[in-house]
Structure 1
Amino acid sequence: MKEYTRAQLALRNGQDREEIWCAFEGNIYDVSASRLWREGKHYDHWAGQDLTHELPDAPHTARVFERFTIIGKLKN
């Protein structure tokens, strides 16, 4: 699976490019098709970044990521 740096992920924020991606636990997910991520923002969260540490504040579990396709891995 292709690996992406944090800088490459940051470009997929819904503003700089059409892709809307976010990372969780080392996987990068394409959330472009979700109406909840329009323009790269989902409530107080922004696309193009690792959301692993944000999940405890979310009203849902990690299972929400099962809805999305993993398109790569986040490089350390």
Structure 2
Amino acid sequence: MKPYTKQQLALRNGQDREEIWVAYQGDIYDVSASRMWRDGKHYEHWAGQDLTEELAEAPHTAKVFDKFTIIGRLEN
């Protein structure tokens, strides 16, 4: 799986490029097709970031990521 840096992930925020990506537990997901991530924002969460710590505050579980494709791994 292709590795991406935090800086590369940050560019996929729905503003700088068409791709809308988020990371969770080291995996990077393409959420571009989701209407919930339109313009790179989902409620108070922003695309192009690692959402691992923020998930605890979400009204859903990590299962929400099952419907999205993993396109890479986040480098440390």
Instruction: Give TM-score, length-normalised by structure 2.
Output: 1.00
Q: CA RMSD in A?
A: 0.2
1:42 CA displacement: 0.1
Which stretches of structure 1, 4 residues or more, deviate above 3 A after TM superposition?
none
2:74 is matched with 74
For structure 2, the residue ranges without an aligned partner over 5 or more in a row are: none
Instruction: Give TM-score, length-normalised by structure 1.
Output: 1.00
1:71 CA displacement: 0.1
Q: Does 1:32 align with 2:60?
A: no
| Matching of residues 1-76 of structure 1 within 5 Å | 1-76=1-76
In 2, distance between residues paired with 1:39 and 1:55? 20
Give me the identity figure in percent: 76
For structure 1, the residue ranges without an aligned partner over 5 or more in a row are: none
Q: Deviations over 1:15-55 (max 9, x none)?
A: 00000000000000000000000000000000000000000
- Count residues in correspondence: 76
